[in-house]
Structure 1
Amino acid sequence: MAGVSSESLTTALTELEARLPGASLQLATELFGILGTLDSSAGLRRALTDPSRSGEEKSALVRQLVGGKVSADAADIAAGLASLRWASARDIGDALETLGATVVIAVAENKSAVSASGISGLEELENDLFSFNRTVASSHEAQRALSEPQASAAAKTALAQKLVPGASEEAKVLIAQAVSNPRGLKPGRLVERFAQLAAKRQQRWIATVSVTRPLTATQMDRLQSALNALYRRELKINVTVDPALIGGIRVQVGDEVLDASVVARLGELNRQLA
């Protein structure tokens, strides 16, 4: 997805963010249900991506289609998506799939530690998705069954649940979606994509800190407190020693970089002198 569709997806994800703290698996299931309706009608996809229609018209069409059948949140999200511009009929479905998966991932993220080892809900979700793919990859019989075009979605979902009986509810929702509606992909490939989305979201809250020498316990405590206050949540901090920095510190959280190193300052000076 690129160009106008990529911009629209970014807009939709930004708008979705405000709903994620209280998101539920039911919301994700409703979004996936709307996706199924969208995938079943080429005419509907064309109507929702027709550049000659206004965003209001397309939004109203979605509300008319799903009104009373899903929650207000699901209807709002789908209608908002339809109001945006899309380069192709396929792109709006891909975007809705991403939004549904993001809701599931956020539900996992909102959970507290889930095991004696203290792994997070996101880590548990990733582990379950990878476990499913490893199990499927080790069984040609399972691969054939999950790719059998004559098998019902219910049968494939039931088989998938048996392959990972101890998986979290969030993982079960994503795995069920991947095997029941892979949308032209192999189920394992879609599960892998969901795992990548989970990993990307988890990376948002990992701070990679580069310093020229190891930090003391006191310095670590101060750094942890400062970054937690800056991002308004508990971050995981990974510290690496990089003598090439010469001095100072470099912090990366997701795509954001805070660079106070000597190398960065020298680079800026060189740019000013060039």
Structure 2
Amino acid sequence: MAGVSSGSLSTALTALEAKLPAASLQLAKELFGILGTVDSSAGLRRALTDPSRTGDEKSALVRQLVGGKVSADAAEIAGGLAGSRWATARDIGDALETLAATVVIAVAENKSAVSASGITGLEKLENDLFSFNQTVASSHEAQRALSEPQASAAAKIALAERLVPHASEEAKVLVGQAVSQPRGIKATGLVGRFAELAAKRQQRWIATVGVSRPLTEAQTSRLQGGLNSLYGRELKVNVTVDPALIGGIRVQVGDEVVDASVISRLGQLHRQLAG
């Protein structure tokens, strides 16, 4: 997805963030259900990407279609997508799939640490998705069954759950979606995409800190507290020593980089002089 569609998806993801702290699996299931409706009708997809229709008209079409059948949040999200611009008819479906998966991932993220293993809900989700793909890759019988066009969606979902019996509820939703509505690719390929989304979201809360010399325990504690306060949540802080930084500190959290090292400032000065 690129160009105008990429921009529309980015806008939708930003708007979705406000709903994620209280998100539920039911919301994700409703969004996946709307995706199924969109995918089942070429006429609807054309109507939702028709450049001659205004965004308000397309948004109203979707709200009318799903009104009373899903929650207000699901209708709002789907309506917002319909009102945006999309380069191709498939792009709006891809975006809806991404938003639904993001809701599932956020539900896992909002869980407290798993008491038995000490890992977070998000880590558990990633592990379960990886385990499913590994199990399918090792079984030709499972691969044939999941790709059998005559098999019902319910049968494929039941098989998938047997393959990873201890998977979390979040993983079951994503795996079930992948095997029942792979949307033109292998189910394991779609599960892989979901795993990438989960990994990317988890990366948002890992702070990679580069320093020119080792920190004391007190400095590390102050660094942890400062970063937690800055980002409004507990971060996992990985500190690496890189003498090439000369001095200062370089922090990366997800895609955001704060570079206050001497070498960075020297580079900035050099670019200004070369100007």
**Shift of residue 246, structure 1, vs aligned partner:** 1.1
Structure 2 residue aligned with 1:134: 134
**Shift of residue 115, structure 1, vs aligned partner:** 2.9
| Inter-partner Cα distance in structure 2 for 1:248 and 1:192 | 38
**Shift of residue 161, structure 1, vs aligned partner:** 0.3
Structure 2 residue aligned with 1:2: 2
Structure 2 residue aligned with 1:174: 174
Deviations 1:115-155 (A, max 9, x none): 33321110000000000000000000000100111111000
Structure 2 residue aligned with 1:30: 30
Q: Residue 273 of structure 2 aligns to which amino acid in structure 1?
A: L
Q: Structure 1: 5+ residue runs without aligned partners? A: none
- SS of the aligned residue for 2:209 comes to strand
Matches within 5 A, 1:98-177: 98-177=98-177
Identity of aligned residues (%): 83
| Inter-partner Cα distance in structure 2 for 1:25 and 1:205 | 22
Q: Residue 224 of structure 1 aligns to which amino acid in structure 2?
A: Q
Structure 1 residue aligned with 2:186: 186
| Inter-partner Cα distance in structure 1 for 2:115 and 2:53 | 50
TM-score, length-scaled by structure 2: 0.99
CA RMSD of aligned residues (A): 0.6
| Inter-partner Cα distance in structure 1 for 2:29 and 2:81 | 17
- SS of the aligned residue for 2:224 comes to helix
Q: Structure 2: 5+ residue runs without aligned partners? A: none
| Inter-partner Cα distance in structure 1 for 2:134 and 2:215 | 39
| Inter-partner Cα distance in structure 1 for 2:169 and 2:101 | 13
Deviations 1:10-31 (A, max 9, x none): 0000011100000000000000
- SS of the aligned residue for 1:238 comes to strand
Structure 2 residue aligned with 1:59: 59
Aligned residues: 274
Structure 2 residue aligned with 1:72: 72
Misfit runs of 4+, over 4 Å:
none
Structure 2 residue aligned with 1:243: 243
TM-score, length-scaled by structure 1: 0.99
